[in-house]
Amino acid sequence: MKIPSLMLAKSIRSSDSWRLVGLWASIMPSWMIMAVEAPLVLSWLATRPMELTSIAAFGVFHSMGLLLEAPVLMLLPTATQLANGPKSAAAVHRHALVMISVALLAATLTTAVPSLRQWILAAGLGLSGDVLAICSVILPSLILWPAAIGYRRVLQGILLANKQSRAIAHASFFRFAGIVVTLMSGSVAGGLPALWAAAALICGVCCETLYTAWSFWRVGFWRRGQEGEDTPVSFPAFLRLFLPLSTSVMASLALPGCITAIIARSYDPVLSLAIFPVVHGFGFFFRAVGLAMQEVFIVGMKEGAQTRSAVDALHWVFVLILVLLLGIIGLTPLARLIFEHLMHLDAPFAAQAATTFVYAIPYPVLTLALSRERARRITTKTNFLIVPATVLEVALSLAIMSALTFGAYLNAASAAMIGLGLGRFCALVFLAWI
């Protein structure tokens, strides 16, 4: 696909483009905090006792958290697409509470039942020794995770669809404050470092959710609508959009857990279990750019052909920016300096992480392109194609990783990043051309 120079020029001059950039700027702080939190916690763990074991256990915890939040993660784009006024917003809010309750029940069974939790960690993920013992202690704190994530995201989607996005940016700072305060408390109080790290993530998410909920109810726009302003969304209509998106993201977010299981059975698993969350977490900072753009793309594509051209222009501008930034960091000594001096990893560990990050360079760019294709499918009501695209991505990612890990004897963390990139590329091609 060619990139017309006129398109890039319009991206600078167009009022639609600048409006979409402003919308992205409101959403981006929330994604940036999510991107920063993992490296921040990992750098704190690197200064604590049992450094390697704690980082490995936290990586497992974080992967499990992503899997548990998967059923409710797509409430944000669902609400952005469907909540077009007070009545539809109230209906979406009501339907979302049903899905959040289901996710909360699943999280409770998975993390609070000792026998099931132990089976998942030992038999499912293949963990043993100190990593297994620490994970058994910290995993129950994930009970509140999906409920907090789900409620925050449905409220954010409703606010976004009704031009009330400023509260989203403000809430992200409460999340960051909750994380920092918890980590500082852990530094003073002592105890199991991985438990404080887990508590920091939970506390941050709960703080962000509480502020978002307060902002939503304070605005109260959805209670002031007049009769006939919009149409309430039925539960079947909600499910027709939500379920394909939810299914695809569950498959996608199952990837870190499956990757963890493969790494646990590879050569030198503790080192790879520690490297993968470091590189994957740091790369999320750049993937967040594309993830935040998905809702912006949805809003833009809903508004007609003129705004769609602005969406295309912004897509290419952000692609160029990401390629430039990732090239500067990954292909120079800058990555190693970041891992060693900002994240406080020792020199050999930082060198291996920097090498692995090189393989992760295409992943954020592909994430941005895939967000655009998913938004196009959502707004054209062909979102059912997202499910086979995600299944293809997951299957290829795991197959490629396994082949490189057990066939080519490549470091498992590096093999994971290569597999993730190639799998995402195939999913992008599927959505763009099928």
Q: What is the pLDDT of residue 125?
A: 77
Confidence check: pLDDT of 1 > 60: no
The dihedral built from the CA positions of residue 228, 229, 235 and 241, taken in this order, carries a sign that is: positive
Comparing CA positions, the residue from 433, 346, 246 lying closest to residue 46 is 346
Terminus-to-terminus CA distance in the chain, angstroms?
16
Answer yes or no: are the C-beta atoms of 228 and 166 closer than 8 Å.
Answer: no
The secondary element (H helix, E strand) that includes residue 335 is helix 334-337
What is the model's pLDDT at position 223?
A: 59
pLDDT at 149: 92
Task: With CA atoms as reference, report the closest residue to 356 among 302, 410, 318, 393.
Answer: 410
CA R_g for the chain: 21
402 pLDDT tier (thresholds 50, 70, 90): very high
pLDDT band at residue 305 under the 50/70/90 scheme:
low
pLDDT at 307 over 80: no
Q: Say which range, 28-37, 81-90, 124-133, 221-230, has the weakest mean pLDDT.
A: 221-230
Close Cβ partners of 72 (under 8 Å, ≥ 6 residues apart):
96, 99, 100, 103, 146, 149, 150, 153, 154, 246
Mean pLDDT of 249-265: 81
User: Tens digit of pLDDT for each residue in 127-172?
Assistant: 878 888 888 888 898 888 889 999 999 998 888 877 777 778 788 8
Q: Evaluate if residue 366 carries a pLDDT over 60.
A: yes
Least confident of 7-21, 107-121, 144-158, 241-255: 7-21
Q: CB neighbours of 395 closer than 8 A, spacing ≥ 6? A: 423
The confidence score (pLDDT) of residue 373 equals: 92
Q: Is 345 in contact with 339 (CB distance < 8 Å)? A: yes
Dump pLDDT digits (tens) for 49-101: 877 888 888 888 887 887 888 888 889 889 888 888 888 888 999 999 999 99
The larger pLDDT score, comparing residue 145 to residue 19, is at: 145
DSSP notation for 311-328: HHHHHHHHHHHHHHHHHH
Q: Could you tell me the two tokens for 434? A: 């099928």
- Region 203-222 average pLDDT: 85
* DSSP code, position 141: G
Count: domains in the chain: 1
pLDDT value, residue 227: 46
Over pLDDT 90: what percentage of the chain? 28
Residue 278 pLDDT exceeds 70: yes
> Looking at residue 97, what is its pLDDT?
94
- Residue 325 binned pLDDT confidence (cut-offs 50, 70, 90): very high
For residue 357 the two structure tokens come to 């990050």
Which pLDDT score, from 0 to 100, does residue 226 have?
45
Q: Tell me if 328 sits within 8 A of 337, measured CB to CB.
A: no
- The Cα–Cα gap between 386 and 389 comes to 5
Band (14; pLDDT cuts 50, 70, 90): low
Is residue 354 over pLDDT 70? Answer: yes
Mean pLDDT for 397-406 is 93
245 has a pLDDT exceeding 50: yes
Provide the pLDDT confidence category of residue 222 given band limits of 50, 70 and 90: low
Mean pLDDT of the chain: 84
The residue among 417 and 301 whose pLDDT is bigger is: 417
Task: Write out the DSSP string of 393-410.
Answer: HHHHHHHHHHIIIIIS--
Is 293 in contact with 376 (CB distance < 8 Å)?
no
Q: Domain containing 189: what range?
A: 5-433
Closest CA to 73 of 148, 173, 159: 148
Q: Does residue 183 have a pLDDT over 90?
A: yes
Residue 232 contacts by C-beta under 8 Å, 6 or more apart in sequence? 87, 88, 90, 91
User: What is the reported pTM?
Assistant: 0.76
For residue 10, the tally of other CB atoms under 10 A from its CB is 17
**Model confidence at 2: pLDDT above 50:** no
Question: Taking Cα atoms as reference points, which of 98, 94, 65, 386 lies closest to residue 202?
Answer: 65
Phi, psi angles (nearest 5°) of residue 303: -95, 0
Phi and psi angles of residue 383, each rounded to the nearest 5 degrees, phi first: -65, -15
